[in-house]
Every structure is written in C-alpha cells, then in structure tokens.
Structure 1
Amino acid sequence: MTATLQLRHARVRYGPLEALHGITLAAAGPGLTVLLGRNGSGRTTALRALAGTVPLSGGAVVWDGVDVTRVPAFERARRGLCLVPERRAVFGSLTVRENLELAAPAYDSALAAYPQLEPLLARRAGTLSGGEQRMLALSRALLARARVVLVDEPAQGMSPTVAARTYELLGSLDACVVMAEQRLPPVPHGRPALVYELRRGAVVFGGEAGEFQGRQAADRRRRRPGPSPSG
C-alpha cells in the first residue's frame, strides 16, 4: 500500500496541555485506516491535524510525499480532502436539499445511499435527529468524491442497520478513508485496513486490522479465569 497521508512526529498543544506527543502514522489510499481510542486518547486531534483544522506545534503532515503542514484547511479541502467532524457537520439553518446541493447539484446517489433522507429534503438540517444529521453529513462527503475522507465516529446515533450500511459505503470508496472510532468497526473483506490505537496522545499499536483483532483475542484468553481448584 502506498502511503497517501501521514503524520510524522506530530505534536499538538491546547494551551499548556499537549494532546499529541510526537505521533507517527500513515493512511493508505485507496484503503481504510482506523484511529482507535477512548475519549481523550488523541484520535480526534489526530484527525483534525490531518485536516489542518488544528495547527501542529511540532512534526509534519505529509500528503503524497509533499509537506502540507502549513497548507490551510480550506486549501487541503480544495485539493480533495473532506473532513466530517463529530459535531457541526451540517449547515443547520439550511434544508437537507440545500445541504446536498452545496456538495453537488445532482444528489441522486446520496439518496440512493441513504433513502431515509428523501422525505426530509424540505426539513432544516438543524431539526434532524443526531443519526439523520450523520447520514446527511456523510452523504455530502460521498457526493464530494474526495481523494481523502476523514470521519469522526461515522455511525454515531445511527441504528445498527444504518450503521452497517455506513461502514459498507465508506469501505467501498475509492479514496483514502480515515475513521476515528472507540471500537474497531466492521472491516470490508478484501480491503486493506490499518489500525492505530492511541492512548493519552501516543500510538500504542500500529498494524493490520487482522493483527489487532488477533491481539485482542489473545488478551481476552489471558484474562479468562482458569478452572477453580476442586475441594
């Protein structure tokens, strides 16, 4: 796999607190990369650093071999990067139709991906439920045909059926897809997938999804209590 987007020894500070402690990771395209971690682990900050919405205090962001650390977020978007943040991912004062039309004049493919949006086209996006807003935000990302798609918790607020559809859609994109998640989502069969686990702003695991799943299974076996001694 060819690395498309990288963080190299990246550091991010929020005032006196350092959120990323010199992490290095690479996301390949087309393919799926998952940034795993609990709240406060740094996964969302890493996603924002890749998008350019938070500045680095050290290290670099490299895209297709070119240092883009000082390239602003709007210019990265112009070059084909699409960020779907966890919050405020849609224009709440606009209707669903207007949100879609901002991404592409023809949005039939978005409604094919999420038919639940069709009866909501005249509704203002700010009145939708959390799951409906996620569908709308992801529909806009699908319409953008971006080279890089960065998504923070894509299935948040969705029903299990819609969440499964969402992971299927993201896994089938001909793009470099990076997701920030608390747990490993379903990985499409036959698609390359990388996993980076973050804890307290540092990478504690980096490798193939199958390797991560194997490590999890081994940890569960080690924690399983043995047979109690017979009296």
Structure 2
Amino acid sequence: MLDVKDVHLHYGAAIALRGVSMQARAGQVTCVLGRNGVGKTSLIRAITGMHATSSGRIGWEGEDITGLPAYDRARRGIATVPQGRDIFPLLSVRENLETGFALLPRGQRRVRDEIFDLFPVLAQMLDRRGGDLSGGQQQQLAIARALVIRPRLLVLDEPTEGIQPSIIKDIGAIIGMLRDQGDMAIVLVEQYFDFAFELADNITVLDRGRVVLAGQARELMAEDVRAFITI
C-alpha cells in the first residue's frame, strides 16, 4: 500500500503541497483530480521521488521511502507515466521499452508477451522510431515502458491529454484490466472527469495544494467532485 501522510512540498518560497495525505491499495484505482496548478503533478513528483518533500512521510509496502531517490523507488516497483509521455523520439519502440531493463535482474530482462497483448500496435512497430508514432501510440508506448519493470505501483499523470477518443477508450480498458489483476496499485491523475470517475475506486481532490475532498468513488457525489474541477 502507498501511504502519503501530511506531505508538504516547496519550490523555493512557493508552496505546492500543504499537508496532503492519501492512500492507494493494490487492486484499486485512486484518482487525483483538480484544476491546473493545484498540485497534482507535484504530488506525483513527491511519490516517485522526483522532488524532495519539505515535511511529511511517504510509505510504500510498510517502508518509509520519503528520503529515497527516484531510482531506488523504481527498484521497489514504483513506475510512472509522466505528463507529456517523455518517450525517447530517436530510439525505436523496442529500444524505448528496453530502457526499463536496467531495473530488472538479468534473467528478467525481456518484454513480456502480456505487454504486447495489451498494446498489439506496438508489436507491429518495434523498429519504428518513437518520434514517428502518433500521440496515442506514444502514450501506449509510455505505459508499456512503465509496465516493463513489473511495477506494483503505477502512477499515471494525465494519460488522456491530447489523445483521440478511441485511444482514450483503449487506455481506460487497459487501466481497468491492470486494476482487476489485483496485484497493482494505480494512481491516476486526471482532469478528464468522466474518464476518471468511471475508473475510480477512490478519489482525492486537490485545490490550492490541499486535499478538499476524498473518499470512495461510490460514496461521493459527482456534482461535488465536478465543482472543484470545472472553471
């Protein structure tokens, strides 16, 4: 289980997170919602170790990982799909997928067939450069690359951004399948309300760096959540 407790995060004098707490459990999708600039990406950076917290605690599978660098968290099974995808445009699809091998024991350094079952289009494009793929194909590659390390926590930062509706539907189905396997916790940061609300088991809503609404999705009123997302 991921357990974020009373986390504060600063960028210089600016406060991005103010006492944020949340949890994410295996077999569930925890959605983090909110408008632009309210701290959603900062929370991801705190969870994955991309930015140091000012105070608070981040626990993962019973261990305090607050002070660990990003690569040590990745070795503990925490993978992220960043906003904007951040694939390597000059590397092939195959080479992009293989960038995760450094985190795996030598005997596990292969792209499992299950990944191509989830993303069959990638199997047909292994030798194409990442930069030549469409936006939707790049997003699928970014998710597949994260899955290469066999994560137990998958963190996705706005995976629907700039993606055509048909691919959004496919990505939603894949997130649902990963959740239903039961051995992975998923944190989904989104602004696309309908996509997130359909997938969410739990919801955490941020506003101005604070948690303003949280709970099980089935117990929250959609209108209450939308009030903190719409401008």
TM-score (norm 2): 0.84
* Structure 1 unpaired stretches of 5+: 221-231
Which of 180, 187, 193 is the matching residue for 1:178?
A: 187
Partner Cα separation in structure 2 for residue 217 and residue 7 of structure 1: 23
Q: For 2:79, which of 70, 73, 82 is the aligned residue?
A: 82
1:180-219 to structure 2, matched below 5 A, reads 180-184=189-193, 185=196, 187-188=198-199, 193-212=201-220, 214-216=221-223
Q: Is the 8 A contact 1:9 1:59 kept in 2?
A: yes
1:40–1:200 CA contact under 8 A, matched in 2: yes
The answer to whether 1:152 aligns with 2:157 is yes
Aligned residues between the structures: 213
Letter aligned with residue 27 of structure 1: A
1:123 CA drift (Å):
1.7
> What is aligned with 2:128?
123
Per-residue deviation, 1:31: 1.1
User: How many angstroms apart in 1 are the aligned matches of 2:112 and 2:77?
Assistant: 18
Q: Distance in 1 between matches of 2:206 and 2:216?
A: 15
In structure 2, give the amino acid aligned to 1:52: G
Is 1:7–1:23's contact at 8 Å kept on the other side of the alignment? yes
Aligned partner of residue 187 in structure 1, secondary structure: helix
User: Given residue 178 of structure 1, which amino acid in structure 2 is its aligned partner?
Assistant: V
User: In structure 2, do the counterparts of structure 1 residues 217 and 77 end up closer, same or farther at CA, with 3 Å as the change threshold?
Assistant: closer
1:34 — aligned with what?
31
* 1:133 and 2:109 are equivalent in the alignment: no
Deviations along 1:162-218, whole A, 9 cap, x unmatched? 212212211222300001101332535xxx711000011011100011223x24179
CA–CA distance in 2 between the matches of 1:13 and 1:165?
A: 36
Q: Which amino acid letter does the alignment assign opposite residue 129 of structure 1?
A: S
8 Å Cα contact 2:154-2:187 kept in structure 1: yes
Residue 162 (str. 1) matches residue 173 (str. 2)? no
Q: Give the 3 Å change call, closer, same or farther, for CA 163–19 of structure 1 in structure 2.
A: same
Structure 1 residues 219 and 123, CA gap change in structure 2 (3 angstroms) = closer
Larger Rg: 1
Per-residue deviation at 1:110?
A: 2.5
Cα distance in 1, alignment partners of residues 99 and 50 from structure 2:
21
Q: What is the letter of the counterpart of residue 187 of structure 1?
A: E
* Aligned-CA RMSD value: 2.1
Residue segments in structure 2 that go unaligned for 5+ positions in a row:
101-108
- Partners in 2 of 1:37 and 1:139 — Cα distance? 26
Change beyond 3 A, Cα 1:107–1:155: farther
Q: Secondary structure at the match of 2:50?
A: coil
- Identity across matched positions, percent: 38
Residue identity in the other structure for 1:175 = M
Change in Cα spacing, 1:219 to 1:50, as seen in structure 2 (3 Å) is closer
Encode CA deviations 1:95-144: one digit per residue, 9 max, x unaligned.
01111233452343333222232343222112323222111011122333
Q: Map 1:77-116 to 2 at 5 A.
A: 77-103=74-100, 104-116=109-121
Letter in 2 for 1:74: Y
